[in-house]
């Protein structure tokens, strides 16, 4: 499956953005999906995940309550709604897909994912 993330841009602190990740070559229906980000000079950081089972979602504390991951009913697009953005949210955001089942919180690990899309830049100004 090929992934393409889009929707990044420049936004003021407190604003919102919605990122999209589209699939080509396959639907997302059999994959767990995640969003990650990488700021300049920092390691890639987990942002959100929704497993194949769709029974729950996972977020780190730094974005919990502000970000929401969702999947469309056609299973071809995954979204990341980002509200109350802060300058420290500035990063390149990546979507990723994994084939695993019953992984629980392992969806918060980069090694869980089999496919990665190219990123989209989000810049939050203060």
pLDDT, tens digit, 9 for 90 and up, residues 111-123: 999 999 999 999 9
CB 117 within 8 A of CB 4: yes
CB neighbour list of residue 40: distance below 8 Å, 6 or more residues apart: none
pLDDT of residue 69: 97
pLDDT of residue 113: 96
pLDDT of residue 53: 85
Pair of tokens at residue 52: 């194949």
pLDDT of residue 28: 83
> How far, in Å, CA of 121 to CA of 104, rounded?
28
Count other C-beta atoms under 10 Å from residue 5's C-beta: 23
State the burial class of residue 42 (Cβ atoms within 10 Å of its Cβ: 0-12, 13-18, 19+): exposed
- For the chain, residues with pLDDT lower than 50 are none
């Amino acid at each position: 499956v090929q992934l393409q993330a889009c929707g990044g841009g420049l936004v003021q602190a407190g604003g919102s953005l919605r990122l999209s990740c589209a699939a080509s070559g396959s639907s997302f229906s059999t994959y767990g999906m995640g969003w990650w980000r990488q700021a300049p000079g920092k390691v890639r950081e987990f942002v959100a995940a929704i497993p194949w089972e769709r029974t729950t979602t996972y977020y780190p504390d730094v974005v919990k309550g502000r970000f929401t991951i969702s999947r469309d009913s056609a299973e071809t697009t995954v979204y990341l709604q980002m509200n109350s953005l802060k300058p420290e949210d500035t990063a390149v955001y990546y979507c990723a897909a994994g084939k695993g089942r019953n992984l629980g919180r392992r969806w918060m690990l980069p090694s869980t994912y089999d496919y990665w899309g190219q990123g989209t830049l989000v810049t939050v100004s203060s």
